[in-house]
Amino acid sequence: MTVEQATAVGGARVGAGAPRGETGRAGFLQVVRVIWMREVLIYFRDRPRMISAFTMPVIMLVMFGEGLGNSIATLPGGIDYRQFIFPGMVAMIVLMNSVFSGVSIVTDRQFGFLREILVAPVSRSAICIGKISGGATVALVNGAVMFAIAPILGIDISLGVVIKLLPLIALVSFMLTGLGVAIGSRLRSVESFQMLSQVAIFPAMFLSGIFFPINNVPAWMDVLVKLNPVTYAVAPIREIALSEQLAEIPADAPFQITHVDWYGYTLSTWEEIGIVVAFGAIMLTIAIRAIRTTE
């Protein structure tokens, strides 16, 4: 009889700590859950990070909304600029939180904890999905807080719309955290992650329609806007958030303030979401690949 069999047959081991249950291989979802838990736990312990994540968009909203808003002519359909920029701000906070949460994989590597995860007999995809879900949850929570403070800032948004928006924001968070983890999984230092993610975030932010309507820009910028994956995340968020107001825009308005227009073909909200899903899937694949080839 081999040791294996004997242990399996005998079952009992010595001491107070002998296992009562089966010590087997952790299931896929169990791994996703435990990795996710850790990300969320660490986030909610990091007070300064939480506070800064909340204050930033409020500052931006007030500055842009009050400052810029007053000097911008009313948008087609009589939509107030603050009303217009609010869904953009939600998208922005989700973008920043999502991408930056990819830093966790870099710190894990730097402090050695990634090795603890990688020596476990678990699926690499589960590790990746757990990481991404964790970061996405943080981003989603931050996005949701924006809705909670919307009435204080004088933004008019109904509960029904918010409920419709949350699953979409969860999806967008997942896609963008995928981008963050994909960047992070290849880097070894927090500094280089910060540099690289800034380089990725800023153009993506300004060329995504967060601050201005995408269908009223010069031709060269138009190309960049349409190549930017974040554009397809911002558009559906705004379409749902402003669904009531948008309906009032006349068809012969000088330009439509949302819906990506592919040179004559106007994408529907669902088509835009489809692009978000596809981009998310690509990011996930890249991140899993990178984790697999680590060490």
Partner 1 sequence: MVNQPLAEAWPRTRPAAGVLRARGVNRQDGTVPPSVKVSGLTRRFGDIIAVDGISFEVAEAELFGFLGPNGAGKTTTISMLCTLLSPTGGRASIGGHDIASDAAGVRRKIGIVFQDSTVDERLSARENLVFHGELFGMAREDIRPRAEQLLERVELLERADDTVLTFSGGMRRRLEVARGLMHWPSVLFLDEPTVGLDPQTRRSIWAYARSLRDTEGVTIFLTTHYMDEAEACDRVAIMDHGKIVALDTPERLKARLGGDVVSIAGPDNAALAREVRESFEIEPRLENEAVEFNVERGGDFVPVLLSRLESQVQSVGIRAPTLEDVFVSLTGHQIREASFSQEDKFRSMQQRGFRRMR
Which residue ranges make up the site for partner 1 (CB under 8 A)? Answer: 1-7, 9-10, 12-17, 19-27, 30-31, 33-34, 38, 41-42, 45-46, 111-113, 115-122, 295
Please report how close the Cβ of residue 133 comes to partner 1 at its closest, in angstroms. Answer: 15
Between residues 117 and 138, which has the closer beta carbon with respect to partner 1?
117
Nearest Cα to Cα of residue 146 among 165, 132, 160, 133 = 165
Distance set, CA 280 to CA 79, 80, 260 (Å) = 31, 32, 18
Containing 137, the helix (H) or strand (E) segment is helix 124-149
Two structure tokens written together for 16: 């107070």
3-state secondary structure of 268: coil
Please report how close the Cβ of residue 12 comes to partner 1 at its closest, in angstroms. Answer: 6
Nearest Cα to Cα of residue 287 among 169, 93, 130, 140 = 130
Backbone angles phi, psi at 265, to 5 degrees: -100, 115
> Quick one: DSSP state of residue 75?
B
Altogether, the residues listed in the chain come to a count of 295
Between residues 252 and 295, which has the closer beta carbon with respect to partner 1?
295
Please report how close the Cβ of residue 34 comes to partner 1 at its closest, in angstroms. Answer: 4
Please report how close the Cβ of residue 220 comes to partner 1 at its closest, in angstroms. Answer: 43
Between residues 20 and 254, which has the closer beta carbon with respect to partner 1?
20
Between residues 36 and 84, which has the closer beta carbon with respect to partner 1?
36
Nearest Cα to Cα of residue 39 among 102, 121, 109 = 102
Between residues 30 and 52, which has the closer beta carbon with respect to partner 1?
30
Between residues 3 and 159, which has the closer beta carbon with respect to partner 1?
3
Please report how close the Cβ of residue 9 comes to partner 1 at its closest, in angstroms. Answer: 8
Two structure tokens written together for 249: 């825009």
Please report how close the Cβ of residue 67 comes to partner 1 at its closest, in angstroms. Answer: 38
Between residues 25 and 164, which has the closer beta carbon with respect to partner 1?
25
Please report how close the Cβ of residue 99 comes to partner 1 at its closest, in angstroms. Answer: 21
Nearest-Å Rg of the Cα atoms of the chain is 23
3-state secondary structure of 73: coil
Asked if residue 204 lies in contact with residue 98, where contact means CB atoms within 8 angstroms, the answer is: no
Rounded CA-CA distance 63/13 in Å is 65
